[in-house]
Structure 1
Amino acid sequence: MSQNKVQTNAKNNYLLAENYYREGAYEKATQIYKKLYTSSPFNTTYLSRLISCYQETDQFILAENLLKSRIKANKSQAYLYVYLGYNYQRQQQAEKASENYKLALNSLDKMPSYGGIIGRLFKDYNLLDNAILAYEKAMEANKNANYNFQIAQIYGEKGDFKKMFESYIDLVDKNEQYFDLVQRYTSKYITDDAENEANILFRKTLLRKSASNPKDVWNVLLSWLFTQQKDYNKAFIQENALYQRNTQDLGAIFTLGKIAFENNSFEAAKQCFDFIVEKSSTKSETINAHLFLMKIAIETKNPETENLFKKLFLVFGKNSATIKLQVAYADYLTFSKNEPQQANTVLEEALSYANSKFDKARIKLKLGDVLVFTNKFNKALIYFSQIQTQLKNHELAQEARFKVAQTSYFKGDFEWAKAQLKVLKGSTTQLIANDAVNLFLKISDNEPVDSIPSGLKQLAKAELLAFQNKDKAALSELNSLFTRKDIFINGFIPSEVIYDDVLFFKAKLLIKQKKYEEAITALNKIIAADNQGFLTDDVYFMMAETYNNHLKNSEKAQEYYQKIIFDHTSSIYLVDSRKKFRKLRGDNVSQ
């Protein structure tokens, strides 16, 4: 029989034996593993499985005799003492088990090369303290050995986060090539709650290491930790320290500013981008920083926003380098100043400066928005469709497809909207995918059936009016849903889902209009109708935020934050709710 055929047969037999083993058919697995082990007595996988099969079928003597014969034949294979010790442990012979474990550990003084396999066997048998001891003894005997990563993982399994982080950081200290690996494994324990036990221990471990052995990598990890916790000002301090040592790279500060902006931490974001404007010697970098500063000015309703835009165009001009600034200015003119015609002029001019298809796409996306704002849906759809055709599979094309779906939804063309959204549900861009799923579900759950009105067209119209900054008209459209006899039945809209959607959107608009008590009334109606609905945690958080930020009723705010903390532990609002509840209660949350 050829060597290849022998290897193929062995592989097939092993797969069959593994299948039996996993199904608990140990007798059948034993017969195959016996044959495999006989043909390959040095294969530790076959040996391990055969011993395990003997143990699962209470054939401890067979396992013992096999292991003793192997040890007698080759005493250097000291890892076999771990198997033998565990075989005694399975029989509640603790003293004999301990004796064999010690033999395995003591062997590492002379044969540290077995440290990896002995440590792993102890770990597999959940003998975690012995596993750590094995790895440590092996490293002590062989200074070139490095099992810190394995030790750190074991401390994590034991729940000893302090020692786990110390081991991970020691690993990076010895070799910074482990940075990405350590960050990935550390992230399993770190949350966005600064008071999480693991976060506190990781921070303290890093600070101690930074004090005793200063390195840039500790600042990088501290910045990363603070960013996870949304403590962007603290992250900036670390990035600033790094910049002082390398004044050529502002990339990390730009990334931090962008993350802070996306999480609505505008003050921290502004600090980052102001720093870049002050320090950068690169025109494109400076313009990009100014772009975000203008976005912050718009979000914070800075009365000087338009003047700031004009000053920037005086300094940098209107050209291909300032395309994104021109698009942002058009967005501001349309959605903040209600001047879509002027915005259209700005964008048409910007098209003449665009040199790349990507810049053209960005301009056309915004032109489409302006056209939707002015009810010119068909022309907007042409622009969006052009982008899809010209930039297939690009993020801008996905955004354009979503805008096609959204515009179709506004028009009441629900089938075409759903067709676009189906494609986008698998979008590589998470934000677009989430938006697509949410809109798809809203349409699917509330579509009119057999020409019976469901209220979806009215909701879509109200959302369009809100998109066009016509909030009063949007509220009027929503209120009409509760008075129309063809939709309103027995006090409720036929679809409970749309009842929730309508009231939740109404509450958003009322808050925007500073009608906070009316917003609370609308939100209470959702809870009264169904306090286990899919919007429940959104509703509780909006109520808590309204009481906390606008009505200054800390008692009520605490009540609704607490509902999320105790009743909605998987909510995306959990960490924010916990932080804000503790602050209102008077806890010291800055530690």
Structure 2
Amino acid sequence: MMPIPAKTRYTYLLLVLALFLLAIPGAMAQNQELALAREYFSKGEYQKAEAIYSKLINDERLFSVVYPDYLKTLLAQNNHKDAEKLVKRTIKRYPGQINYNIDLGTVYQAAGDKAGAEKHFDKLIAQLKPEEVIVAASVFVQHELFDYAEKTYLRGRELSKNPYEHNRSLIALYTFRQKHENLIGEALNLLQENESELIYVQNMLQNSMQDEKVMDALEKELITRVQQYPDLLAYNELLIWLYIQRRDFYSALLQARSVDKRTRSGGTRVMELGAISARNQDYQGAIEAYEYIIKEYPDGPYYLIARQRLIHAREEQVENTFPVDLDKIRTLITDYEALLAEVGRNAQTVEVLQHMANLYAFHLDEKDKAIALLQEAIAMPRAKPDFVAESKLTLGDIYLLKGEPWESTLLYSQVEKSHKETPIGHEAKLRNARLNYYKGDFELAQAHLDILKLATSREIANDAMDLSLLITDNTGLDTSTVAMEEYAAIELLIFQNKLDEAQNRLDAMLQKFPGHSLTDEIYFLKASIYERTGAFDKAIASLEKVVSAPADILSDDALYKMAYIYEENLKDTQKAQELYNQFLVKHQGSIFVAEARKRFRNLRGDAPVVN
């Protein structure tokens, strides 16, 4: 190949540059015209915009930019004839572009020809090729023609002869449109095709879980499919997940046990459900979970921890059944001692020592025994640092129980320092904040609480926020903190189990500070003392004072607690059902809604029957 002379190359470059420079003014002028047309359109001067667009539309280079704006301009003037002509010319010009065919249907709709639009869209969908389905559906969605997007995906499914084709797209569409019945069917079909899609299905269904009827429908369909496809474990897992969303932990446990018996999977899922039940105060469910593990897997890896958690769940159940039965407390200590005799006092049983100490100190008033057990736990060789820290926190609580707050704050501060930026460290800081609150040092308490509001643990952050609001709401507008100091001191008395003295001082507060902002808190605290001592009628009377007061932050707590006492303690299920229903109507944003709904359904008799 002959080399190109340097002079020729130079001449060629000059020519290209000249052509480029000549094109710039034209391009700039067109851009200016486009900007002007858009400005006219934004101001509603459609005729001026149309005049510019009608000229620019013939420029092939600008067509894709001008066309959509030109069409909008014509439709804005109700100039449907010219809009139709524009789209038809465009279809003729670009016959393979589905979006222009859909534009034609939107023009018919804009002109009021609904029948013509429907006929056009249906014909278009019927003639689609498999490779055109996704594009057509996305264009329909852009035009908010969701029914036609759905028809397009279903047509694509017919063409592919695959009953699961476009499954995810339909799920997304049904989720957005809140077509819950269709969503349930598609979601469960997707799981039937691919069990690994479980997390995706849960995420897509999550948005629909606010509607009780949707949850009922999903539960009914899932139970049917679990029976139809017993080997498809994803259905079982989804049903367990649904029960957890509904706070129906017992039904979730029954389902998990059923799966475990079929798969003999070592009890992992049952252990998880036991822990979830315990965290959510469903102690009977937790007890049955751990009893199952102990019975079914005596040689399994969870046996020891199940033994320990079983006693702990019973402990929680006894401590939250008022008035607390001290004979049952002693039985729990005996059970813990039997466990220690079986497995030894070692690093693995430090938590057992903690629980025994708690029972001795807070229920049997044997503080010295409790302190000795905790000191043993803290000194245990090879004990996990977290267990040692928890033992120190409990020991700090017992010193506070004894009236030695300086020892308490020393222990809390040790844990704060050794476990910085961890949940245990945050818990230690919260206890220090509460200790300062008890002493009436609200400024120092708030300094701790302001940090804890940002804690990663939602529970600690919420507790910090609640205490901070209590202080702020009842000291902010009044330079005097006398009432708040007295209230905080009474809370310390309750912590120290000096309930009679606390009740008397609360009554004195009502006399001394009539109409104070703390009044509702005082009645709520009185109710909690009455509940602990078994005076349930008096508890109800105090709670009614809170519920009947003008809208207050505690009104949902009080109404829920009333319903709970009627159900669990007074055994008046009709009154409990009435109050739960009242609660669900009045307090739809409360954190107790899910639990109240579950209890209401159980009392009404429409709780599910789970095989």
TM-score past 0.5 threshold: yes
Post-superposition offset of 1:559: 4.6
Contact 1:27 1:57 in 2 (8 A): no
Q: Does 1:546 align with 2:565?
A: yes
Q: Does 1:532 align with 2:559?
A: no
Post-superposition offset of 1:499: 0.9
1:131-174 residue CA offsets vs partner (Å, 9 max, x unmatched)? 22210111222357831122234344555433221111111222
Q: Does 1:170 align with 2:170?
A: no
CA distance in 2 between counterparts of 1:550 and 1:24 reads: 68
3-state secondary structure, aligned to 1:300: helix
1:423 is matched with 451
CA distance in 1 between counterparts of 2:441 and 2:183 reads: 56
Letter paired with 1:93: D
> Among 572, 577, 583, which residue is 2:591 paired with?
572
CA distance in 2 between counterparts of 1:26 and 1:369 reads: 72
Q: Does 1:262 align with 2:289?
A: no
> Among 140, 143, 146, which residue is 1:122 paired with?
140
CA distance in 2 between counterparts of 1:356 and 1:554 reads: 46
3-state secondary structure, aligned to 1:478: helix
CA distance in 2 between counterparts of 1:465 and 1:279 reads: 45
Aligned length: 561
1:209 is matched with 225
Q: Does 1:271 align with 2:288?
A: yes
CA distance in 1 between counterparts of 2:374 and 2:105 reads: 77
Runs of 4+ deviating beyond 6 Å: 23-28, 33-38, 281-284
Contact 2:246 2:598 in 1 (8 A): no
Letter paired with 1:383: L
2:322 is matched with none
1:360 is matched with 388
Letter paired with 1:197: K
CA distance in 2 between counterparts of 1:546 and 1:182 reads: 38
1:219 is matched with 236
3-state secondary structure, aligned to 2:302: helix
Deviates further, 86-95 or 69-78:
69-78
Letter paired with 2:369: Q
CA distance in 2 between counterparts of 1:533 and 1:517 reads: 22
Letter paired with 2:336: F
> Among 323, 335, 342, which residue is 2:362 paired with?
335
CA distance in 2 between counterparts of 1:561 and 1:316 reads: 45
Letter paired with 2:264: T
3-state secondary structure, aligned to 1:136: helix
1:383 is matched with 411
**Structure 1 pair 57–276 and aligned structure 2 pair: CA distance change class (3 A):** farther
CA distance in 1 between counterparts of 2:171 and 2:80 reads: 33
1:475 is matched with 503
CA distance in 2 between counterparts of 1:455 and 1:199 reads: 47
2:168 is matched with 149
Deviates further, 415-424 or 345-354:
345-354
> Among 429, 435, 458, which residue is 1:401 paired with?
429
> Among 244, 251, 260, which residue is 1:243 paired with?
260
Letter paired with 1:313: L
CA distance in 2 between counterparts of 1:428 and 1:48 reads: 49
**Structure 1 pair 203–99 and aligned structure 2 pair: CA distance change class (3 A):** same
Letter paired with 2:253: F
CA distance in 2 between counterparts of 1:157 and 1:457 reads: 52
Letter paired with 1:472: D
> Among 235, 249, 253, which residue is 1:232 paired with?
249
CA distance in 2 between counterparts of 1:257 and 1:132 reads: 42
Deviates further, 33-42 or 514-523:
33-42
Runs of at least 5 residues in structure 2 that lack an aligned partner in the other structure: 1-16, 319-327
**Structure 1 pair 342–27 and aligned structure 2 pair: CA distance change class (3 A):** farther
2:13 is matched with none
**Structure 1 pair 503–90 and aligned structure 2 pair: CA distance change class (3 A):** same
Runs of at least 5 residues in structure 1 that lack an aligned partner in the other structure: none
Q: Does 1:317 align with 2:344?
A: yes
Contact 2:256 2:270 in 1 (8 A): yes
1:241-277 residue CA offsets vs partner (Å, 9 max, x unmatched)? 3323443443321121111112222221111111222
Post-superposition offset of 1:313: 0.6
CA distance in 2 between counterparts of 1:554 and 1:206 reads: 30
CA distance in 1 between counterparts of 2:598 and 2:45 reads: 56
CA distance in 2 between counterparts of 1:582 and 1:217 reads: 26
Post-superposition offset of 1:221: 1.0
**Structure 1 pair 465–283 and aligned structure 2 pair: CA distance change class (3 A):** farther
Letter paired with 1:104: L
CA distance in 2 between counterparts of 1:539 and 1:139 reads: 54
1:495-525 residue CA offsets vs partner (Å, 9 max, x unmatched)? 32x1111111111101111222322332233
Contact 1:148 1:167 in 2 (8 A): yes
Letter paired with 2:356: Y
CA distance in 1 between counterparts of 2:179 and 2:312 reads: 44
Letter paired with 2:585: F
3-state secondary structure, aligned to 1:366: helix
TM-score (norm 2): 0.82
Letter paired with 2:406: N
Contact 2:284 2:317 in 1 (8 A): no
Contact 1:79 1:114 in 2 (8 A): no
CA distance in 2 between counterparts of 1:417 and 1:447 reads: 13
3-state secondary structure, aligned to 1:230: coil
Deviates further, 156-165 or 327-336:
156-165
1:335-380 residue CA offsets vs partner (Å, 9 max, x unmatched)? 2222222122111111222444323322222222222222222222
3-state secondary structure, aligned to 2:510: coil
**What pairs with 1:483-562 in structure 2 (closer than 5 Å)?**
483-484=511-512, 488=513, 492-493=514-515, 495-496=516-517, 498-528=518-548, 530-553=549-572, 556-562=575-581
Over aligned residues, Cα RMSD in angstroms? 3.5
CA distance in 2 between counterparts of 1:469 and 1:185 reads: 48
3-state secondary structure, aligned to 1:379: helix
3-state secondary structure, aligned to 1:79: helix
1:289 is matched with 306
Letter paired with 2:367: P
CA distance in 1 between counterparts of 2:283 and 2:449 reads: 32
Letter paired with 1:296: A
Contact 2:510 2:519 in 1 (8 A): no
> Among 405, 413, 420, which residue is 1:392 paired with?
420
Higher relative CO (Cα under 8 Å, sequence separation at least 6) belongs to: 2
> Among 320, 326, 350, which residue is 2:377 paired with?
350
Post-superposition offset of 1:222: 1.3
CA distance in 2 between counterparts of 1:39 and 1:251 reads: 64
Contact 1:236 1:272 in 2 (8 A): yes
CA distance in 1 between counterparts of 2:345 and 2:568 reads: 40
**Structure 1 pair 295–60 and aligned structure 2 pair: CA distance change class (3 A):** farther
